[in-house]
Amino acid sequence: MDKYKTIEFADDHLILLDQTKLPLEEEYIVSDDYKRIAIAIEKLEVRGAPAIGIVAAYALALALKFNNNSATDTFLKAYNRLKITRPTAVNLFWALERMKKIFEKHSASPDIYTILKSEANKIFAEDELMCDNIAKNGQEIFTKKSIVVTHCNTGRLVSAGGGTALFVIQKAFESGLIEHVYSDETRPLLQGSRLTAFELNKLEIPFSIITDSSAAFVMKNIGADLVITGADRIARNGDTANKIGTYNLAVLAKYHGIPFYIAAPSSTLDNNCITGDDIKIEFREPHEINSIKGVQVTDKSYPVYSPAFDVTPNHLITGIITEDRLFKPPYNF
Ligand code: MRU
């Protein structure tokens, strides 16, 4: 498999694989401007909870690259801009706060750019390691060669390493434990049919894209063995926010007696959220629903309601895999 690079930092520039163009075109965005990087996060050119955090960390460092004025003003301007890009994935805020602490400690240093850059590099390296350990810890959920259903995208495209849920699947496949993967297309932005399919294809894992509404059919008629997805924010009681449609899948899994797992790094756990009710859900623009790739599919004037994430209650989650271990209910993070 050629290893496409989701996020790379080279020659003091951030290089991002433009995920809005995949799988039809592999194009890269090269920038050293935090404002352009903030737009890349908003437009989902880079996406997925861990990736958003990593990229925001580099963007904050880059804000100080040409710092001619007050470092504090420049830093805070960039910090405040990045903070309003997307509200649900907590990894963004986790990374921004971590960078802010480093900035506050070293703000007077003439090397502040280098110091921030090295913290962003650390976040990148830690994420890569977390992915390895999530994949390792996730292997205990496989008791036989399995048919798996997944939602949204959770592979190399969301992280500095192999990913979360999809990396668990990849490692299981390498041990001969995957029969087939059903990838929900994940309306409206098609992270499943565009991105997960792109990754499964590169990994040569047998898969089929299904419409989101086919999951019950697959569970009843084909008999999935397990469902595994990623997460954007996990509350202390295990309630989990993930891409819209994840909750549907968890309800269906429960009905069909199929185990439902979440895989995520500890940077996705939010101590400030006691339950899922505390998680802020992002709502997206109507054009993402009423048109596809710029082609109008319904009347522009029709009202649209578009939550980008939903919260799966803890009692529907069989286990949560992190880099530490596989957690079973009752969850108490
Ligand atoms: O809107 P997106 O594409 O950023 O949503 C991504 C997801 O919901 C992923 O499942 C989640 O971030 C987990 S990725 C490890």
The domain locations on the chain are 7-132, 137-327
**In CATH terms, are 7-132 and 137-327 the same topology?**
no
Single-letter amino acid code for the residue at 26: E
CATH placement of domain 7-132: 1.20.120.420
CA of 293 from ligand 1 middle (Å) equals 20
CA of 208 from ligand 1 middle (Å) equals 20
Those residues whose C-beta lies under 8 Å from the C-beta of residue 74, and which sit 6 or more positions away, are 63, 64, 67
From 1.20.1250.20, 2.60.200.30, 3.40.50.10470, 3.40.50.620, which CATH number describes the 137-327 domain? 3.40.50.10470
Which one of 20, 55, 154, 183 would you pick to mutate in the ligand 1 pocket, going by the greatest count of ligand atoms within 8 A of its CB? 154
The rounded distance, in Å, linking the Cα atoms of 47 and 64 is: 23
**Greatest Cα-to-Cα distance within the chain, rounded to the nearest angstrom:** 64
Torsion region of 204: left, alpha or beta (phi above 0 gives left; psi -120 to 50 gives alpha): left
Q: Report the alpha-carbon angle 184-188-194, nearest 5.
A: 55
How far from 43 is each of 110, 113, 192, 213, 274, CA to CA, in Å?
34, 26, 17, 26, 30
pTM comes to: 0.97
Contact status, residue 199 vs residue 157, Cβ threshold 8 Å: yes
Contact status, residue 157 vs residue 195, Cβ threshold 8 Å: yes
Could you read off the pLDDT tens digit of each residue along the chain, which spans 333 residues? Answer: 567 899 999 999 999 999 999 999 999 999 999 999 999 999 999 999 999 999 999 999 999 998 766 889 999 999 999 999 999 999 999 999 999 999 999 999 989 999 999 999 999 999 999 999 999 999 999 999 999 999 999 999 999 999 999 999 999 999 999 999 999 999 999 999 999 999 999 999 999 999 999 999 999 999 999 999 999 999 999 999 999 999 999 999 999 999 999 999 999 999 999 999 999 999 999 999 999 988 999 999 999 999 999 999 999 999 999 999 999 999 999
Catalytic residues: 232
